């Protein structure tokens, strides 16, 4: 980490490090676990179409907005509004981000725990034989998630690993892990896609994913696609903002935002190309929700030559990809505790860990037979992505488009006029006039307000 003489905050050392960290945050279970099941429930191609539209029209502008605010203020989500001279009330918006980040890390670490368990099963050579149990892979997974005890342990392991990495500081922990793992995950996904394309159900899978049936587009599907776009890009909660507060002045904000958006969407589409041919080949229900891919993955591996080896590589990378995302989620509350509350970094990590642990255990137990009035896993998952992140994105757009000094906006995007060809006017237009009303209308329509 290079130290800035003026402050004790760390900085990402290189441009490649920035891309690796932001892509590392964006690419994770959101692409490989959440996208396929959301897409499956949202009617396939109809969902994908809305999703891509949201990435382009809302996602990339909002990443740019978060980058602008973060780098201009060099501080956390809460304090940045104070530092950029906002009207009263804005800093409280930072709290949405902190609440959302803690909700997300809670259920996310449970899913990461599933990936770790499947890595353990693959390493012990037993993954494929779980399909022989009555009801096959799907039933095995349901029994596992219902067991409670094992999942709680994995959730704790994931969180402990995460916070151990985070304690290592910004660059050491985050940059190094992301730079090595992300390209490898990409290569593995491409190989898995080729494998899926040779399955008998490939044509059906591809037409489900790419041939839209417009009658499937409902307000709920639109809301789901918007929520997924925010979740997958890690925006609306100040995650990219916090990362950008560690950017140097030479970082190119628009280019980094566009690269992150394109890579993240490509990984989601690759995951779809890997999953849906298998879904149609083996008669698995695409609409079953969060359990979908944990039934599909083992099914795929059980049919591949050398399946166990592929499974080991795949779950290893999935586990790591999820860690590069949890690292970025925890950084939001940590930066807040350090920058706003004046805590030492170690203390901030411990506090964030304790909060995440409490949420994680509650989510981990949501699949057991405990008689709770709500399923916290589903609640945290849906409320954060479909409500909190879009509201955060809306407020970020309004602030950056309407309240932030236009000069700061332009200077940040063009690095004080040094960069040419950045669509500054278009981005500002989208942030001012497209993002806020679009998000507001979708939220209002889907909760039945209009």
Tell me the closest approach of the beta carbon of residue 240 to ligand PHE, in angstroms: 8
Q: What is the dihedral of CA 384, 385, 387, 391, to 10 degrees?
A: 100
The DSSP secondary structure of 112-138, one letter per residue, reads HHHHHHHHHHHHTT-TGGGGGSTTHHH
Which 46-105 residues touch ligand PHE, going by CB under 6 A?
104
C-beta of 230 vs 282, nearer to ligand PHE: 230
Tell me the closest approach of the beta carbon of residue 231 to ligand PHE, in angstroms: 5
Residues in contact with ligand PHE, shown as a per-residue x/- string from 99 to 118 under the rule CB under 6 A: -----x--------------
The residues, any chain, with a CB within 8 Å of residue 101's CB and separated by 6 or more, are 237, 238, 239, 329, 330, 332, 333
C-beta of 265 vs 366, nearer to ligand PHE: 265
C-beta of 26 vs 46, nearer to ligand PHE: 26
Residues 107 and 377: beta-carbon distance below 8 Å: yes
CA dist list (Å): 41 to 31, 171, 221, 276, 291: 15, 38, 8, 12, 12
What are the φ and ψ backbone dihedral angles of 447, each rounded to 5 degrees?
-95, 10
3-state secondary structure at position 3: strand
Residues 321 and 181: beta-carbon distance below 8 Å: yes
3-state secondary structure at position 2: strand
Tell me the closest approach of the beta carbon of residue 196 to ligand PHE, in angstroms: 21
Which residues, listed in sequence order, are joined to residue 11 by a DSSP beta bridge?
2
Site stretch for ligand PHE (CB under 6 A), options 59-67, 212-220, 227-235, 285-293: 227-235
C-beta of 28 vs 390, nearer to ligand PHE: 28
Could you say which of 130, 234, 265, 299 contacts ligand PHE (CB under 6 A)? 234
Tell me the closest approach of the beta carbon of residue 325 to ligand PHE, in angstroms: 4
Residues in contact with ligand PHE, shown as a per-residue x/- string from 21 to 50 under the rule CB under 6 A: ----xx-xxxx-------------------
Q: What is the CA radius of gyration of the chain?
A: 21
C-beta of 144 vs 231, nearer to ligand PHE: 231
> Can you tell me the distance from the alpha carbon of 77 to that of 242, in angstroms, rounded to the nearest whole number?
6
328 counts as binding ligand PHE under rule CB under 6 A: yes
Nearest to 106 by CA among 322, 326, 336: 326
Tell me the closest approach of the beta carbon of residue 275 to ligand PHE, in angstroms: 15
Which 258-317 residues touch ligand PHE, going by CB under 6 A?
none
Residues 356 and 113: beta-carbon distance below 8 Å: no
> Can you tell me the distance from the alpha carbon of 178 to that of 13, in angstroms, rounded to the nearest whole number?
13
Tell me the closest approach of the beta carbon of residue 28 to ligand PHE, in angstroms: 3
C-beta of 201 vs 360, nearer to ligand PHE: 360
Tell me the closest approach of the beta carbon of residue 110 to ligand PHE, in angstroms: 13
3-state secondary structure at position 28: coil
Could you say which of 299, 302, 325, 397 contacts ligand PHE (CB under 6 A)? 325
Could you say which of 67, 118, 163, 231 contacts ligand PHE (CB under 6 A)? 231
C-beta of 104 vs 188, nearer to ligand PHE: 104
3-state secondary structure at position 11: strand
C-beta of 388 vs 424, nearer to ligand PHE: 388
Tell me the closest approach of the beta carbon of residue 270 to ligand PHE, in angstroms: 13
Q: Give 86's DSSP letter.
A: P
Q: What share of the chain is helix, strand, coil (3-state, %, to 5)?
A: 75, 0, 20
C-beta of 232 vs 299, nearer to ligand PHE: 232
Interacting residue ranges for ligand PHE, rule: CB under 6 A = 25-26, 28-31, 104, 231-232, 234, 237, 239, 325, 328-329
């Amino acid at each position: 980490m290079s130290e800035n003489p003026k402050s004790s905050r760390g900085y990402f050392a290189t441009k490649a490090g920035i891309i690796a960290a932001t892509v590392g945050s964006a690419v994770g279970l959101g692409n490989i676990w959440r996208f396929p099941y959301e897409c499956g429930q949202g009617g396939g191609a109809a969902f994908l179409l809305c999703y891509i539209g949201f990435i382009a029209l809302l996602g990339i502008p909002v990443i740019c907005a978060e980058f602008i605010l973060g780098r201009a203020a060099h501080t956390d989500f809460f304090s940045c509004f104070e530092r950029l001279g906002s009207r009263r009330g804005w800093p409280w918006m930072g709290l949405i981000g902190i609440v959302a980040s803690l909700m997300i890390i809670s259920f996310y670490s449970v899913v990461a725990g599933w990936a770790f368990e499947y890595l353990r099963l693959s390493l012990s050579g037993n993954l494929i034989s779980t399909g022989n149990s009555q009801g096959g892979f799907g039933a095995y997974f349901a029994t596992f998630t219902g067991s409670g005890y094992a999942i709680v342990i994995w959730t704790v392991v994931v969180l402990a690993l995460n916070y151990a990495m985070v304690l290592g500081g910004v660059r050491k922990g985050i940059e190094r892990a992301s730079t090595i793992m992300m390209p490898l995950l990409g290569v593995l996904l491409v190989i898995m896609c080729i494998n899926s394309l040779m399955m008998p159900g490939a044509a059906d899978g591809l037409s489900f994913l790419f041939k839209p049936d417009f009658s499937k587009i409902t307000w709920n599907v639109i809301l789901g696609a918007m929520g997924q776009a925010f979740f997958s890009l890690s925006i609306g909660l100040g995650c990219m903002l916090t990362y950008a507060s560690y950017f140097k002045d030479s970082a190119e904000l628009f280019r980094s935002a566009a690269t992150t958006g394109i890579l993240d969407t490509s990984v989601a589409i690759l995951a779809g190309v890997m999953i849906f041919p298998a879904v149609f080949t083996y008669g698995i229900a695409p609409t079953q929700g969060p359990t979908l891919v944990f039934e599909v993955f083992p099914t795929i591996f059980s049919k591949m030559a050398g399946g166990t080896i592929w499974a080991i590589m795949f779950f290893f990378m999935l586990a790591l990809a999820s860690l590069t995302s949890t690292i970025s989620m925890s950084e939001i509350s940590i930066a807040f505790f350090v920058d706003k509350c004046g805590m030492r970094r170690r203390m901030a990590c411990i506090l964030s860990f304790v909060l995440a642990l409490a949420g994680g255990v509650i989510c981990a137990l949501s699949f057991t037979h405990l008689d709770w009035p709500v399923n916290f896993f589903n609640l945290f998952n849906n409320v954060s992505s479909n409500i909190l992140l879009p509201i955060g994105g809306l407020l970020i757009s309004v602030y950056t488009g309407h309240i932030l000094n236009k000069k700061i906006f332009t200077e940040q995007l063009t690095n004080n006029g040094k960069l040419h060809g950045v669509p500054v006017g278009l981005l500002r237009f989208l942030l001012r006039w497209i993002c806020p009303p679009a998000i507001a209308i979708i939220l209002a329509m889907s909760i039945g307000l209009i």
